Homo-oligomer: A and B are copies of this chain.
Amino acid sequence: MSLFSSPIIDSLNQLHREYATVTDGTVATYIPELAKANPDWFGICLVTSNGVVYEVGDSRQPFTIQSISKPFVYGLALEDNGRAPVLQKIGVEPTGDAFNSISLDPGTGRPRNPMINAGAIAAAGLIAGRTSQTKLGRLLEMFGLYAGRDLVIDKAVYRSESDTGHRNRAIGHMLRNFDILTEDPAPSVELYFQQCSVSVTCRDLGVMAATLANRGINPVSGRQAIRGEYVENILSVMGSCGMYDYAGEWIYNIGMPAKSGVSGGIIAVLPGQMGIGVFSPPLDARGNSVRGIRTCDALSRHFDLHLFNRPGIGKPALRLKFTGAELSSSRVRMPQESQALRQFGSSITVYQLQGNLTFATTEVVVHDVIESAQSIQYLVLDYKRVLSLNESAAWLFCELLRKLSDCGKSVLFVHAERTPLLRRYMKAKLRERFEQLFRAFDDNDLALEWCENHLLEAKLPTLDADRVAAPEEFELFHRLDPGEIACVTALLQRRVYRRDEVIINAGDEARELFLLMRGTASAVILLSSGGKKRLATFAAGMAFGEMAIIDRAPRSAMIVADSEVECELLRLQDFNDLSQRHPNIKIKLLENLSLGLCSKLRKANRELSVFD
């Protein structure tokens, strides 16, 4: 249980109290069953594109969906037939006419849009399926996906619709006359009566609207109700024709694609953000719910939801940008390497991206890269926090990759698996160059190390990967004379590890300090997800395990041999005994250990400041 109610629920309750007293409007009576509605019924439901549901009032009262079914069935017609064939049968121009107008194009007989009855019946006629039963089944399945629960037809309302639907039958025959319907119109008109009689609640309307706001994926159930590409078409006809001859004022005042129904429901959709469902049976002269319009108007004003009232996006895709001079990989470096990285590392630039990558958000990144392309030799693009990426963003990244590669620069893609379209798109566009150009990494740190290795290769003489380090190379032995070094090395114990062998286990008691003589080893932690995260990689000439020697804490990470590894171990006991036997050596060793800790701490503090 929450400690207190959400201010959003409070606000919806307040609106509900305020508009519950409004008694304007009359319940629709043209179908006897609708006339039975209680004029006091009043529910409000707001559902975010993250699937949070806010509902107040009679949000669970069932009623028939009526005309609000039209955009959803139109969407199914688009899925079943594709855009062009549907456009041939049904226009998309607003009529400016009232809700019950017939509005066929005088020449072609094409209904002006799918939100008037003629267009909706034509859309019902386009639903795929060999039998009426199949078509109805597909229709109910679709509604169920939008609502996140099984929906059924209110049989009494359906009979009532069918008994009184003479005007709609007339429309059916007119559509047949113009060959918009190419077979007996009766089943399509019947299907239309059925779709109007689907029983929903105000909560269902909210979830259905949120599904449209969320590109067709029901944000509560996570299931896809319609292919995302058709959502813009559904919302377009809602935006231009959803509120009958009130459409212009609605967009002007409320600013969201919407659809109303004669039973008193209204849905409104703020794309990407939320869906709203309101239910209250009394209607105004234009056939829209009186409390519904007032509520949506108040919500739009109070919550500032108008679609066209958007601040400039800023740089939302760019979470963090830093260079290899500011932040290093976990590969532990020799002093001269660290020096080179601080000097030349600014030619490595990492862009951490986030959120939804569309044309506008990606443009900001691409523009920034192009502005600083002169100084970039290695570009790391990290998609770890990217939520979505569309084709235009993929295109921009692909062009950027092509252009940077043509200038001899490298582009590394980290966590590209988060946005599978990126790889697919690039593979299709780059063809035989793909393997060479598209460098994918699972981890930002590995990408950074790759860049550093290439940079160091260019700037420093290469060290033989298989060389054996000499004791005097170790920072631990700095300023010790040969005799003192010999005195310590006499205490060391040699160990050899196979590739992938565990050298230290996390949680182990700390008993030795390790001098890595040959090969490389990495400190890793096991993630709860089952994967591994690398903390550091050590090469010949470096020590590890020294912190635990100092503070006696259990080993915090696992150390694994990356190759065959040769170590010399200084046992804690021997190290301690030096205090008595060779205090001056002990002092030098402690000073060297402190120096190493200082330099690590300074590096960590520098890196922390990058995130500030």
Q: Tell me if A602 is interfacial: C-beta within 8 Å of chain B.
A: yes
Q: How far is the CA of A441 from the CA of B388 in the complex (A)?
A: 35
B252 touches A92 (CB 8 A): yes
* Chain B residues within an 8 Å CB radius of A248: 91-94, 113, 236-237, 240-241
* Chain B residues within an 8 Å CB radius of A302: 392, 395
- Given A315-B50, A586-B587, verify A304-B247 contact (CB < 8 Å): no
* Chain B residues within an 8 Å CB radius of A391: 304
Q: How far is the CA of A214 from the CA of B311 in the complex (A)?
A: 6
Stretch from A6-14, A26-34, A179-187 at the B interface: A6-14
Query: Taking CB as reference atom, which chain B residue is nearest A355?
Result: B316
Q: How far is the CA of A593 from the CA of B550 in the complex (A)?
A: 10
Q: How far is the CA of A40 from the CA of B248 in the complex (A)?
A: 36
Q: Tell me if A131 is interfacial: C-beta within 8 Å of chain B.
A: no
CB distance from A420 to the nearest CB of B (A): 15
* Chain B residues within an 8 Å CB radius of A400: 7
Q: Mark A465-497, 1 if CB is under 8 A from B, else 0.
A: 000000000000000000000000000000000
B403 touches A4 (CB 8 A): yes
B251 touches A236 (CB 8 A): yes
B593 touches A307 (CB 8 A): no
Stretch from A141-149, A268-276, A337-345, A565-573 at the B interface: A268-276
Query: Taking CB as reference atom, which chain B residue is nearest A112?
Result: B96
Total contacting residues, chain A, CB less than 8 A: 117
CB distance from A353 to the nearest CB of B (A): 12
A48 touches B363 (CB 8 A): yes
Query: Taking CB as reference atom, which chain B residue is nearest A7?
Result: B399
B93 touches A6 (CB 8 A): no
* Chain B residues within an 8 Å CB radius of A237: 248, 252
A312 touches B214 (CB 8 A): yes
Q: Tell me if A23 is interfacial: C-beta within 8 Å of chain B.
A: no
* Chain B residues within an 8 Å CB radius of A251: 92, 236, 239-240
Q: Tell me if A356 is interfacial: C-beta within 8 Å of chain B.
A: yes
Q: Tell me if A134 is interfacial: C-beta within 8 Å of chain B.
A: no
Q: How far is the CA of A371 from the CA of B5 in the complex (A)?
A: 10
CB distance from A29 to the nearest CB of B (A): 27
Q: Tell me if A508 is interfacial: C-beta within 8 Å of chain B.
A: no
A308 touches B232 (CB 8 A): yes
B96 touches A304 (CB 8 A): no
Q: How far is the CA of A611 from the CA of B612 in the complex (A)?
A: 10
Task: Among B6, B388, B583, B601, point to the contact of A584 (Cβ < 8 A).
Answer: B583
- Given A94-B247, A602-B547, verify A314-B367 contact (CB < 8 Å): no
Q: How far is the CA of A204 from the CA of B395 in the complex (A)?
A: 28
Q: How far is the CA of A316 from the CA of B319 in the complex (A)?
A: 10
7 A-B pairs with CB atoms under 8 Å apart are: A3-B407, A7-B400, A49-B312, A50-B314, A236-B248, A240-B252, A583-B586
